Amino acid sequence: MLRLLRYFSPYKRLLLLAVVSNLLMSLFLVVSIPVLQPFLQLLFDVPDKTAGGATVLKEATGIRAVEQAISGYFADLVRTQGREQALLWVCGLLVFTFLGKNLFRYLSLYFLAPVRNGVVRDLRNRLVAKILELPLSYFSEARKGDLISRASADVQEVDSSIIGVVESVAREPIVILGSLAFMLYVSPTLLGFAMLLMLFSGLVIGRLGLALRRQSKDAQGNLGVVLALLEETLGGLRIIKGFNAQRWQLARYERENTRYAALLTRINRRRDLASPLSEFLGIVAVATILWFGARQVFSGQMTAPTFITFLYAFYNIIEPAKHLSAASYSIRKGLGALERVEALLAEPVSIRDQEGAQSVQAFERAIEFRGVSFQYPNAEAPALKGIDLVIPKGKIIALVGASGAGKSTLADLLPRFYDVVEGSILLDGVDIRRLRLRDLRALMGIVSQEAILFNDTVRNNIAFGLEDASDADIEAAARAAHAHEFIIALPQGYDTNIGERGTKLSGGQRQRLTIARALLRNPPILILDEATSALDSESEKIVQAALHRLLKNRTALVIAHRLSTVQHADEIVVLDRGQIVERGRHDSLMQQSGIYRNLVALQAL
C-alpha cells in the first residue's frame, strides 16, 4: 500500500475526509457494542422491589465496574420511568448509533469515489504520456496488445483489487481494535483464548495467498498476448481472409485464450477458497468460545448479558477480519497488475533533451551527416555505416536503393526518432542532440508512405498539432495540396469524420490530406518517405503536383522507389547495405554502369 501513497497525494483532502468518515463510522459501530448490554440486562435481569420502590439488579460475582455502572444507570432509569420506557430509550440509542454508523459509511464512500476514479485516470494519463515519450526503438520489441492491456485491464485491476479495498483497510482495523478493547475490558482470559483461535485461522488462510501475486502477474501478461493477437486479427483481416487463414488465426487466438482462461481459473479457485475457509474457521472459533464462555457464565464469573455482548463484539471482529482477508488476496492480485504498470512507467527514455539543451527557431545553412553509423537493438548487422552527407538549405536530396539499404533509417535519424550510434548529425553546425527536441521537430514536416490519419474530422486531421490554425489557413493548405475539391464534396465537408486511419477516403485522398497537414505546418525541412509508392497512376499524378508545390523553396530529404519522381533532385544518393555507394544528379549517374542505372533499367521494363 505504501507504493500507492504517491498516487493518492493529489487527493489528500478527499482522502482525509474519507478517513475521518471511516473513523466516525467505526466509532459508532464500536459504541453500539456496549449499548447492546443494557438492552440484554433488561431482558435477562428480573428487577426486585425494595423499600422505597428502588429497582435493584441482581448482582453477580466477577462483574467489573463498567458493568456495575451501566447496570446501576439503567436500574435508576427503570425505577424512575418504568421498564417499558427504559427499553424505549435503549432501542432509541441503538437506532441512533446505527444511523450514525451508516451515515458516515456512505460519506466515506462518497469522498472516496473521486479518489478512486482520479487515481485510475491519473495512472492511464501517465501511461499514455509515457508511451508518447518512449523512443520508437522500444516499440520494435513491445506488443501493441500488451501496451493496451497495461493501460486498460491492468489499471482496472489496480482499481478493483487495491484502490477498491482502501475503505476496508482504513475502516476494519479501527473496528477490530475497538472491539478488542471492549473484549479486553470484559474478560482478558476469554479474549486471549479467542486471539489464539484467530491467530491459527490467520496462519492457515495466509498460506493460500502466497502464490496469488505471481499468478496474477502471469495472468495479466497472458491477457496482453491475447489482446495483441486480437489487434493483429483486426488489423490483418483483409490478408487473413484473402489467404483463407481464418482457421489458422483462430487456432492461434484460441490457444492463448485457453491458456489465459486456465490460469484465471486457478487464480479464482485459490481466491474463492478464502471466504468459505475463513467462515468455517470462524464458526469453529465461535463454537469453541461458546463452550468456554458458557462455562464462565455457569460458574458465575460472567453474566449472560455480558457474555452475549462479548459474542457480539467478537462477531464485529470476524466480519472485518474476513474483509481484511479478502482485501489481502485482492491486494496481492492487484500488485501483479501494478508491477506491470510501473514497469512501463519506469522504462528508460533514451531520446530526450540533454541538460542545457539549446533552443532553435530557424534553419539557416545546412544539415550534415558526419561519419554516421547506426544499428538497431538486437540486430546482427548495422543499418548504416560511415555516412557522410551534406544537405544545403533549399536543396532536394533523394535517397534511393533496394529495400533494406538504410534509406528510411537515415531519414528517421534526422528528427531523432533514433539516435546515432557513431558520428553526429549537425544542424547549422550544432549537433542535433544538443538541441531541444521539440524545437528540432518543429522545423520538420513528414509525409510517409502510409498515410497516417486519425479517427476525426478532415479539419482536425489537417490542423493536427496546431491548436491555433484558422479555418482560412486550413482551407489554403487543402487547396495547395489539391484536396479542397474532394473535401467539399464530402457529406459534411471539412467537418466530415474520415474513420479509423481515414478508411472512408481513397488512398490518394488520404495522402493529399497528409500533404495538406505538412503544408499547414509550413516547415523549412521536409522528409518524404516514398509518399507516392502506394498510389495508382492517376492519384500519383495529383499527389506529385501537390508535392511539387510542397517542395518549392524548401530543404527536402526524399526517399523514393519510383525513380522517375526524383530525377529532378539536386542530388541523388544511392545506398546499398547501409553505405553510400553512388551520388550525383540523374544524368551523371545514368552515365555510370552502377546500381542507380540498373535500378532505372529494371523499372523501365
Q: Which of 208-212, 400-404, 550-554 has the lowest mean pLDDT?
A: 208-212
Q: How many other CB atoms are there within 10 angstroms of residue 109's CB atom?
A: 14
pLDDT at residue 218 greater than cutoff 90: no
pLDDT at residue 266 greater than cutoff 90: no
Nearest to 413 by CA among 401, 399, 403: 399
pLDDT at residue 456 greater than cutoff 60: yes
pLDDT tens track for 416-428? 989 999 999 999 9
Distance CA 115, CA 100 (A): 23
Half-sphere exposure of 157 (CA within 13 A, CB side): 26
The predicted pLDDT at position 117 comes to 85
pLDDT at residue 369 greater than cutoff 90: yes
Structure-model confidence comparison of residues 370 and 279, the more confident one: 370
Q: What b/e string do you get for 208-218 counting C-beta neighbours within 10 Å, with b at 16 or more?
A: bbeebbebbbb
Q: How many other CB atoms are there within 10 angstroms of residue 592's CB atom?
A: 12
Long-range contacts of 286-289 (CB under 8 A, 24+ apart): 286/311, 286/314, 286/315, 286/318, 288/193, 288/197, 289/190, 289/193, 289/194, 289/197, 289/314
According to DSSP, residue 435 is labeled B
Instruction: Judge if 2-345 and 366-604 fold alike in CATH terms.
Output: no
Please report where in the chains the cell 481459473 appears, as a residue: 265
pLDDT tens track for 162-190? 666 666 666 677 777 777 777 777 777 77
Radius of gyration (C-alpha) of the chain in whole angstroms: 37
Nearest to 345 by CA among 121, 131, 149: 131
The predicted pLDDT at position 350 comes to 85
CATH class of the region 2-345: mainly alpha
The predicted pLDDT at position 58 comes to 41
Most confident residue range from 275-284, 399-408, 424-433, 454-463: 424-433
The predicted pLDDT at position 468 comes to 82
Stated as kind and residue range, the H or E segment containing 204 is helix 188-208
The predicted pLDDT at position 582 comes to 92
The predicted pLDDT at position 487 comes to 92
Structure-model confidence comparison of residues 558 and 566, the more confident one: 558
The predicted pLDDT at position 50 comes to 38
Distance CA 234, CA 130 (A): 25
Distance of CA 401 to CAs 537, 560, 563, Å? 22, 8, 10
Residue 372: which pLDDT band, with cuts at 50, 70 and 90? very high
What number is the average pLDDT over the span 371-378?
89
The predicted pLDDT at position 374 comes to 93
- Tell me the three state secondary structure of residue 483: coil
- Tell me the three state secondary structure of residue 558: strand
Q: What is the dihedral of CA 345, 348, 354, 355, to 10 degrees?
A: 60
Task: Tell whether domain 366-604 is in CATH 3.50.50.60.
Answer: no
What number is the average pLDDT over the span 384-395?
93
Q: How many other CB atoms are there within 10 angstroms of residue 356's CB atom?
A: 6
pLDDT at residue 48 greater than cutoff 60: no
Q: How many other CB atoms are there within 10 angstroms of residue 171's CB atom?
A: 24
Distance CA 219, CA 337 (A): 9
Distance CA 514, CA 449 (A): 10
Q: Indicate the length of the chain as a whole number.
A: 605
pLDDT tens track for 57-92? 344 433 345 455 656 666 677 677 777 777 787 778
What number is the average pLDDT over the span 221-244?
74
Structure-model confidence comparison of residues 227 and 220, the more confident one: 227
Structure-model confidence comparison of residues 521 and 160, the more confident one: 521
Question: Could you tell me the sign of the dihedral formed by the alpha carbons of 243, 247, 251, 253, in that order?
Answer: positive
pLDDT tens track for 484-517? 888 999 999 999 998 877 888 888 888 888 888 8
Question: Could you tell me the sign of the dihedral formed by the alpha carbons of 508, 514, 518, 521, in that order?
Answer: positive
Cell (9 digits) for 160: 478493483
Structure-model confidence comparison of residues 595 and 55, the more confident one: 595
Measured N-to-C along each axis, helices 246-298 and 188-208 cross at an angle, to the nearest 10 degrees, of 170
The predicted pLDDT at position 450 comes to 77
In Å, how far from its chain's centre is CA 144?
Answer: 14
Task: Tell me the average pLDDT of the chain.
Answer: 79
Structure-model confidence comparison of residues 193 and 363, the more confident one: 363
Residue pair 301/131 in contact (Cβ under 8 Å)? The answer is no
Distance CA 222, CA 211 (A): 17
Please report where in the chains the cell 496546431 appears, as a residue: 466
The predicted pLDDT at position 49 comes to 39
pLDDT at residue 53 greater than cutoff 90: no
What number is the average pLDDT over the span 123-127?
89
The percent of residues in the chain predicted with pLDDT above 90, rounded, is 16
Structure-model confidence comparison of residues 317 and 576, the more confident one: 576
According to DSSP, residue 555 is labeled E
What number is the average pLDDT over the span 285-293?
79
Distance CA 100, CA 29 (A): 8
Measured N-to-C along each axis, helices 188-208 and 304-345 cross at an angle, to the nearest 10 degrees, of 30
pLDDT at residue 51 greater than cutoff 50: no
Residue pair 323/168 in contact (Cβ under 8 Å)? The answer is yes
Please report where in the chains the cell 473484549 appears, as a residue: 183
The predicted pLDDT at position 3 comes to 66
According to DSSP, residue 61 is labeled T
The predicted pLDDT at position 47 comes to 45
pLDDT tens track for 472-493? 999 988 888 888 888 999 999 9
Residue pair 333/164 in contact (Cβ under 8 Å)? The answer is no
Distance CA 516, CA 498 (A): 15
Question: Could you tell me the sign of the dihedral formed by the alpha carbons of 423, 424, 425, 429, in that order?
Answer: negative
Helices within 45-82 (DSSP H only)? 65-81
Residue pair 136/408 in contact (Cβ under 8 Å)? The answer is no
For residue 185, what are the contacts with CB-CB under 8 A and spacing of at least 6? 64, 66
pLDDT tens track for 504-552? 888 888 888 888 888 888 889 988 887 665 556 666 677 777 777 777 7
Q: For the chain, give every domain's residue range.
A: 2-345, 366-604
Residue 205: which pLDDT band, with cuts at 50, 70 and 90? low
Distance CA 179, CA 432 (A): 67
Residue 159: which pLDDT band, with cuts at 50, 70 and 90? confident
pLDDT at residue 291 greater than cutoff 90: no
What number is the average pLDDT over the span 83-107?
82
In Å, how far from its chain's centre is CA 380?
Answer: 34
